[in-house]
């Protein structure tokens, strides 16, 4: 199994990361998770564009062009014969004596990547999942896909401890997003989701879903909604690269709709599946 280290494909035990790597010490870096279906990369361009956009937002120079990165990702998938799974990609600001300001002069970013086989969460996609509602305690630049994930990690842990699939966060009254997903409600035939501000990550899956809404004739309102409004939605779901269109059947103790995935959510699941690179996957 090969991994990516800067612009090299190598083995995991060859990789040397410094103990003063800024990703390790400060979480000073960015990442992407990209899905592979039947050997094909899904929405690779969108993920690579977001990777560069995250880097730009933290004034970090990536030493490779987007084309080189595309090529390296494809090489990695081929080398590892990955059929169904994910590519994880991250870049840190590099290895430099510990000091908060960006190194000046800059040191080279450290890029790492690997593949992992995963299965689509088919049982959950069919049955729907319960989530908890939790205060969003994260920072104010959630639009950056940053390695700083402690707030997200703590939120997800709360969900797991309560036997739930995800923690859907709210800042004050306003629903923002899940700990590793975007959140959507459907009421009277309209889809509601938080606008793409600094308070959420603009999910690639979210963008695909908004295209699906157009295709199936589901009107979209990108406006913040409250916890109380969330509990009045007919349907609720969360999305990410790994979980696609995941129906939510419980918000804390509140049962969503009749407690099973709603009709619009099912239609969105089908419209989403129709976009996947190959029809035959597991």
- 180 scored as a contact of ligand PLP (CB under 6 A): yes
Q: Taking CB under 6 A as the rule, does residue 134 contact ligand PLP?
A: no
Q: Is 21 in the site for ligand PLP (CB under 6 A)?
A: no
Of positions 80, 112, 146, 182, contacts ligand PLP by CB under 6 A:
182
The correct pick among 54, 240, 265, 269 for binding ligand PLP (CB under 6 A) is: 240
Q: Does 171 sit near ligand PLP (CB under 6 A)? A: no
- In this complex, which beta carbon is closest to ligand PLP, that of residue 94 or of residue 200? 200
269 binds ligand PLP (CB under 6 A): no
At 73, phi and psi to the nearest 5? -65, -45
The dihedral through the CA atoms of 175, 236, 271, 279 has a sign that is positive
Q: Is 176 in the site for ligand PLP (CB under 6 A)?
A: no
Tell me phi and psi for residue 211, to 5 degrees: -65, -45
H/E segment holding residue 125: helix 122-127
CA-based nearest residue to 60, from 17, 109, 113: 109
- Asked if 89 interacts with ligand PLP (CB under 6 A), we say no
Give the residue, chosen from 112, 146, 193, 241, that forms a contact with ligand PLP under the rule CB under 6 A.
241
Structure tokens at 247: 């129906």
Q: Which residues of 166-180 are buried (b: 16+ CB within 10 A; e: fewer)?
A: bbbbbbeebbbbbbb
CA distance 48 to 67: 9
162 counts as catalytic:
no
201 binds ligand PLP (CB under 6 A): yes
Catalytic residues: 145
* Contact residues: ligand PLP, CB under 6 A: 33, 152, 177, 180-182, 201, 203-206, 239-241
């Amino acid at each position: 199994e090969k991994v990516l280290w800067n612009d090299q494909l190598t083995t995991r035990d060859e990789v040397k990361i410094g103990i003063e790597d800024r990703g390790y010490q400060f979480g000073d870096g960015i990442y992407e998770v990209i899905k592979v279906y039947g050997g094909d990369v899904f929405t690779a361009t969108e993920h690579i564009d977001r990777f560069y956009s995250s880097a730009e937002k933290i004034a970090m120079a990536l030493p490779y062009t987007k084309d080189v990165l595309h090529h390296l990702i494809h090489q990695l998938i081929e080398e590892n014969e990955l059929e169904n799974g994910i590519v994880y990609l991250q870049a840190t600001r590099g290895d430099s004596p510990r000091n908060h300001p960006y190194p000046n002069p800059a040191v080279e970013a450290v890029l790492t990547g690997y593949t992992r086989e995963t299965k689509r969460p088919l049982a959950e996609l069919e049955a729907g999942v319960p989530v908890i509602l939790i205060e969003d305690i994260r920072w104010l630049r959630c639009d950056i896909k940053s390695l700083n994930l402690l707030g997200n990690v703590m939120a997800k842990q709360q969900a797991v401890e309560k036997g739930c699939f995800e923690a859907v966060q709210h800042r004050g009254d306003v629903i923002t997003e899940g700990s590793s997903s975007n959140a959507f409600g459907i009421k009277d035939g309209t889809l509601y989701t938080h606008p793409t501000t600094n308070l959420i990550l603009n999910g690639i899956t979210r963008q695909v879903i908004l295209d699906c809404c157009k295709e199936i004739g589901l009107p979209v309102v990108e406006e913040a909604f409250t916890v109380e409004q969330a509990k009045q939605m007919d349907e609720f779901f969360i999305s990410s690269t790994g979980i696609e269109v995941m129906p939510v059947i419980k918000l804390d103790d509140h049962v969503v709709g009749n407690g099973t995935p709603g009709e619009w959510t099912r239609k969105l699941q089908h419209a989403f599946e129709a976009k996947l690179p190959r029809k035959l996957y597991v």
